[in-house]
Amino acid sequence: MVNDTMNTTYAVVFGSVMALGLPLNAVSLWILLRCHSIKSPSAVFMVNLAISDLLLVISLPMRIYFYATSSWPLSNMACIWITMLFRNNIRSSSIFITFISVDRLLAVVYPLRSRHLRISSNAWKAAALIWLFVLVVNIPESVYFSKFLNNNTEHSCFEFKERRKSYMSYFQSVLVLTMLAVNIVCTALVSWTLHRHLNDSAKVKNKVNVMLIFVTNLMMFTIFFLPLSLLIFFETWKTSPTPLICLASVNCCLDPLLYYFSFDGFWKRKEDVDTSLARE
């Protein structure tokens, strides 16, 4: 009875995330592509972040079905692929968010020296490498997970038990902690720069929005990514990770806040944004 109640709760949470995340990220992606020239590194990383969130949303219908019916109608491989889509979101999102923080750090602290680095072509190359890295990691992890799924995944998909901790558990935790540390350093340096050069910092448009970007990034890590990553690191799935998986999935609904804080006039027409980017 308790399991039925919990499964229903999980289905409701995932359903709510899908209902909010799909339109928010689809509209955000449309605005980023239509109204903003993809000439700044931050815009490039935000487009890829929105794509990552949409891939997460795509994986949710089958999770909803599994927890609503307590059954899995598809194959083991389908279960693994959908699990990978979710894990890929945490990894790719944490990296893209960190790259956004680093880009903002360079723009505020080293605006002149970083101009040759902060170009869209470099950002697209970095994004391609991130996706390649994420996909390569899926190969050994998929093989590992396949060992712990029962031949009949009807009641075990998303709730299978690992008998021992894998190196991938350490990898995800180390990745998230490393990205969090980079975000903390970026936040501290930007805050120090704006405080130290108070008069000069008036040249930085919307200083409050600049810091809100970093605060939002840190919130994403500490609330959504870190708890699940620490549980995976310290536990061998003895404690069900599903509640924290639900929590982690909510990040895709809040990423549009990052887009809003990152651009002056998020709803501006493309030609207006091109002018502001040219001045940056």
Q: Which residue is it, tokens 């969130």?
A: 53
- Count CB neighbours of 138 within 10 A: 19
89 located within any domain: yes
19 located within any domain: yes
82 located within any domain: yes
268 located within any domain: no
- Count CB neighbours of 205 within 10 A: 11
User: Could you tell me the pLDDT band of residue 274, with boundaries at 50, 70 and 90?
Assistant: very low
155 located within any domain: no
Instruction: List the single range of 119-123, 125-129, 175-179, 272-276 with lowest mean pLDDT.
Output: 272-276
CATH at residue 202: 1.20.1070.10
Share of the chain above pLDDT 70, in %: 80
Q: The pTM is what? A: 0.85
63 located within any domain: yes
In the predicted structure, residue 57 carries a pLDDT above the cut 50? yes
- CA-CA distance, 276 to 269, in Å (whole number)? 11
- CA-CA distance, 6 to 22, in Å (whole number)? 24
What pLDDT score was predicted for residue 263? 61
Q: Quote the DSSP letter at residue 263.
A: S
- CA-CA distance, 17 to 184, in Å (whole number)? 27
204 located within any domain: yes
User: Could you tell me the pLDDT band of residue 269, with boundaries at 50, 70 and 90?
Assistant: very low
Structural domain boundaries, residue 46: 2-150+160-263
Share of the chain above pLDDT 90, in %: 36
Rounded to the nearest integer, the mean pLDDT of the chain is 81
Amino acid at 97: I
- Count the domains in the chain: 1
- Count CB neighbours of 130 within 10 A: 18
Query: What's the rounded mean pLDDT across residues 150-155?
Result: 54
How many whole angstroms from its chain centre is CA 159? Answer: 22
Query: What's the rounded mean pLDDT across residues 106-120?
Result: 86
In the predicted structure, residue 15 carries a pLDDT above the cut 80? yes
In the predicted structure, residue 267 carries a pLDDT above the cut 50? no
278 located within any domain: no
